[in-house]
Amino acid sequence: MREDTIRSFAKINLSLGVLGKYNKNFHRIETLVSFIDLNDCIKIKNINQKNHKVVFDGKFSKKIYKKNTVTKLLSILDKKNLLNSKKYKIRIKKNIPIEAGLGGGSMNASSLLNYFLSKNKKKLAQNQLLEICNEIGSDVILGLKKKNSILLGDGKLIRSKSKLKLYTLMLKPNFGCSTKMLYKKVKKYSKPLLKKNHANFSIKKLSNLNNDLEIVAFKKYPVLKRIKETMKTLPKVSFVKMTGSGSCIIAFFNTKKASLNGAKILKKKYKNYWCILSKTI
């Protein structure tokens, strides 16, 4: 049977404000996100079996739970009869590290949701899409369109037509950060800062925006703060931020040449850490 291939691109947070709590378990946030060309490769094939089969391979395929974003999505689509009673084998080559703040698992679910709705010619209203996404994870909705986006504190999602033409240099130490744990440690909440005009993505605006989770992450893992301070000294770097709940720290550059030079410096200093160049899409 025919096998289709799709790409699931990594998400980066250019800002992340924790505004408060919806309830005991969920926080209210505002975030400015973009996407980079680092991606997981997903192969999908219809199979004549009673159950779906999901397989992960690649460098970052370890430590993925049997129940994950992809199996959750398939279960939801089956219940809603959005797969026309078909079963699929899905093989995902994980190039995006887990517990890095790059949304790898959530973006896998987003990409597959788009694929299945298109493949089976299903059209859903926005509230139906949001319901499915929220059952899997709060950031899944962001990946349905690979556009720079602002998620406001009231849940409103603003998509931008603007392109962010930046080169990224990412460094991740040999540990991940627990999103749940970091949010629990947030004691002070921010006031809303993002507005529609932030979608213009000027370097000055971006460099002045913060990630509230950096405070608690740096306290728990001081090495992350040291990495960020080192990256801020790289020649011609525009700004440096931790993405999401980490542990990946990202340096942003205006030119490919500057990012390549920065990579040489970082790889020499942090020989045993994951370090990769990418660019916004």
First to last CA, the chain: 32
Instruction: Please name the helix (run of DSSP H) or strand (run of DSSP E) that holds residue 77, with its range, or none.
Output: helix 69-79
C-alpha to C-alpha distance for 225 and 181, rounded to whole angstroms: 18
Give the span between the Cα atoms of 245 and 211, in whole angstroms: 9
Number of other residues whose CB lies within 10 A of the CB of residue 117: 18
Active site residues: 11, 139
d(CA 209, CA 32): 9
> What is the distance between the alpha carbons of residues 239 and 28, in angstroms, rounded to a whole number?
26
Token representation of residue 39: 């991606």
Distance of alpha carbon 75 from alpha carbon 114, whole angstroms: 15
Distance from C-alpha of 63 to C-alpha of 178, rounded to nearest angstrom: 13
**Alpha-carbon span 260 to 169, nearest angstrom:** 8
Q: Are 6 and 42 in contact (CB under 8 A)?
A: yes
